[in-house]
Amino acid sequence: MLAIIEPSKNIDIIEPATTYKLELSLVAHKTGSIKIPVLIRIIGQNNLPTTINLNAHSVGPVMACKQDVLEFNRVDVLKTHELKLTLINQSIIPAE
């Protein structure tokens, strides 16, 4: 599944000679480019559904490092040396 697309309303009435604004929400389930056809059917019309193409580009979590450099200085050969690196998730979605 690439994404979930939901309309603001599943069914509505469009008055004669008016414009209708349909809002769609998208929840992406993969990162990168997404291209999905959206079919809109007009009840009472014998034509095929109207197709619009939805194009989106989704991104994953945005991570940053608190430190620019990890400085170990002098270390003994064949001994374990540890430093802590702080990672910051700057997005509203969890990062694994």
What residue segments make up the domains of the chain, in order of their start?
3-58
pTM above 0.85, yes or no: no
**How many Å apart are CA 22 and CA 20, to the nearest integer?**
6
Q: Does 1 have pLDDT greater than 90? A: no
Cα 57 off chain centre by = 7
For 14-54, the pLDDT digits (tens) are 999 999 999 999 999 999 999 999 999 888 888 899 999 99
Report which secondary-structure segment, H or E, holds 55: strand 50-58
Number of H helices, E strands in the chain: 0, 6
Question: Tokens 């059917």 map to which residue?
Answer: 41
